[in-house]
Structure 1
């Protein structure tokens, strides 16, 4: 029989005594409360599905984003709520179809409407939970002060209020009545972006502010939203990255954006925040294809920005959270930008908005439960409130509608847009996205039962949200914010 040392024997006897009193050693020793994770959300502008080297880009590489994909998960069936700027951003911030909020299109300077301050944004929910919230980049949900980020849940804001082509000096801008474009710091106008040299400082300036935010708020949970204005045209890049790729300025711009992601990821690691930070990378819609060599790649999906085909809606999505999100995984489940809000809210212990939302929680899938299917349906709305397609699983029914097409037109060169039409007559078609992700083969005649089922999905959408094409008003549409007259 082995005799235990006297000190160890006393420890064991003490432990048994505690157990006898109805306690366990693990309960007796208090555990520190888990620190809520930080959240970093990157949102690119007009970056296509095929614009990362991990998704097939040619002529340049995106090593920081590729590393993020390797260290986290890539979601290959991820859709934006609408394939246009303001509508897409409204959906991300609120978890709603933008047409439910009365938001459509891209708000211009001095727009009389914006995101209604009565809507609860992701920033507001996290701020209520004790998070410090910051946005550095493009807002585009209304440029009147009542609509700006500090009135929508953010503690800090530095960026541009809308797209930087809404600018009198855009080289190929047909409208000449846009006001000067200024940086906004908090609620105040600051330096004017006077020319493309100034625009070339956009990515670096946003990156610098984001890094400062991390350093300043490293001791408490934060939500950092980085909606980069590029690669939206007009393209501009800093001297450090100019001429660095074989794909001209577009490749240079993407390389600088990849650098920005790397800088922010590196700062998280430097501040020992890396393992407790959920990082999400997505884009606001697909590429603006008629800009040719100044536009990105849809990755082979049909059409691009401003359309209800997959090239307009499907965007890259990378998620990294060491020890929580599986590394090196590719997931093909259907997800959308609307699903970000309820998922992040659950991660951070925040409540959901009081008003109805359309997003679904996919935290279990995010953590690796591949048996989970969070979402099966999606409504493709565009223009003011036109239902142009519906999807259930891999089946997509496109309704006859007028819309933008890039097909049949030569793309532009050197920043000058090529021709498009906004009123192409698209016919009705049923597409099996599993076999035909390019949406080329109408199989309605082979699957009338699928058409009938998807028509019922469309009827649900019209009753709920309306449909301008059928002159129908939805029962659950809310009003946008409006400037008082």
Structure 2
């Protein structure tokens, strides 16, 4: 099924009046994706100590989603879902990918970047990739014109088979021989440009700043043409690093320093758009790949008032902060509690750009009615439910306010409206609801596994 534009986009002006006019310019798109940032770790989401004035201002000028989900509670699957609009098992990336091991997001998958290339967009991936570090899986084979970043998590090592730039910068006593060794050197990761390692190991304290500079340069270079910019920040994945300008400045310790530098980064991007008069033609989305790594103690974030964390299908593992801004198209100060997910970004962007999507099964839905402030719009998951996968195992479903979670330990039913922290299991008192949701899970999982994407 190809995505077809069949109705005019509804735009909401600052006065609240509706207009049926559709933009004639191709909108730019920026996705700012952080790593392991908890639900609470933004001022407007309730952080008591971390200051995020730029994100708070973004919410004041746009929309805040309180019930927004990553499609996985771990890195690689979450990124695959964002870029393809599908649950991770459907596109063959249910687990975390590791350096120097086979596997990755198949380059026959249609990514957001692939899709927008067909509409004449310039595309860039900056930051953490984590969808395969072999040449065939890198961003430049997945629709991105350019890539600058680290190919996986910052606690990993280098792939000794990596292609190396002729003018590579070696640090910390490393050499080409030590890079080529089959030796695990955790936390020593490479910086890449395109498909080549240009620095090893990268100075991680400079990553957020350098990603920001790269993003600003890309925007300036492409100000006269439509662009898609995917900024996948390395932080706040552990190990944490902040630049000297931010280290030691937050009331929340190093973790807070890192988040406040990420907030600065978002601010620099927004300021650049405004200075170039691009903010009225640019959709900007901020969100996180999954919940916080709370087992890391002070170096981990907070998902409060949610229960759970990274690696889990409890709310704290998969419900993430989300803010979107588009001057003149998204009503300032909007808030929605309708369920939506990272998978919805691809079909939404397709709608806004008149782009076609793959004819393969896809799980995401167009959420422009929610983004644009249509008060009659419902969550695309209101009827069919949102599903929580832990790797290839379906553990939970949310339908409306009800969430059923089934693990080897127990069957738990929660009313998320009354019990956002998932403290009270009401399964015993609601057997009919349990049965209905369990049937939904069984049928959906069977359908997904029967319709996983196939490749030539």
**TM-score strictly above 0.5:** yes
Q: What pairs with 1:147-162 in structure 2 (closer than 5 Å)?
A: 147-162=137-152
Q: Provide Cα deviations, 1:140-170, integer angstroms capped at 9, x if missing partner.
A: 000001000010000111000000101389x
Does structure 2 conserve the Cα–Cα contact (< 8 Å) formed by 1:182 and 1:192?
Answer: yes
TM-score when normalising by structure 2:
0.87
> Residue in 2 aligned with 1:166?
156
Alignment match, 1:300: 305
Match of 1:124 in 2: 114
Q: Secondary structure at the match of 1:78?
A: strand
* Regions of 4+ moved over 4 Å: none
**Mapped partners of 2:231, 2:217: distance in 1:** 13
Matched, 1:396 2:403: yes
TM superposition shift of 1:104: 1.7
Please list the CA deviations of residues 77-117 of structure 1 after superposition, one character each: whole Å capped at 9, or x if unmatched: 00111100000000000000001112122111022000011
Matched, 1:364 2:369: yes
Query: In 2, distance between residues paired with 1:58 and 1:221?
Result: 38
Shift of 1:344: 1.0
Whether the aligned pair in 1 keeps the contact of 2:397 and 2:404 (CA below 8 Å) is yes
1:177 matched to 2:152? The reply is: no
Q: Is residue 411 of structure 2 the alignment partner of residue 428 of structure 1? A: yes
Q: How far apart, in 1, do the equivalents of 2:86 and 2:107 lie? A: 14
Matches within 5 A, 1:153-232: 153-167=143-157, 177-178=184-185, 180-193=188-201, 198-232=203-237
Q: 1:35 aligns with which of 22, 25, 38?
A: 25
Separation in structure 2 between the aligned mates of residue 162 and residue 303 of structure 1, nearest angstrom? 24
Partner of 2:163: none
Give a deviation string over 1:280-337, Cα, whole Å, max 9, x none. 0000000000111101110221110000000000000001011111110110000011
* Counterpart position of 2:178: none
Select the structure of larger CA radius of gyration.
Answer: 1
Unaligned runs of 5+ in 2: 1-20, 159-171, 173-181
In structure 2, what is the equivalent of residue 139 of structure 1?
A: 129
**Equivalent position to 1:261, from 262, 266, 269:** 266
Aligned length: 410
The CA deviation string for residues 56-85 of structure 1, in whole angstroms up to 9 with x for no partner, is 112231000000000000000001111000
Aligned-partner SS, 1:42: strand
CA contact (8 A) 1:84 1:305 kept: yes
Matches within 5 A, 1:60-99: 60-99=50-89
Cα distance in 2 for partners of 1:33, 1:296 equals 39
- Of residues 381, 389, 392 in structure 2, which corresponds to 1:375? 381
Q: Which residue of 2 aligns with 1:476?
A: 451
- The structure showing larger relative contact order (alpha-carbon pairs under 8 Å, at least 6 residues apart) is 2
Partner residue in 2 for 1:109: 99
> Cα distance 1:106–1:33, how it changes in 2: closer, same or farther (>3 A)?
closer
Distance apart, 1:193 and its partner CA:
2.5
Which segment is superposed worse, 326-335 or 445-454? Answer: 445-454
* Distance in 1 (alpha carbons) for counterparts of 2:298 and 2:22: 54
Task: Pick from 328, 333, 338 the counterpart of residue 333 of structure 1.
Answer: 338
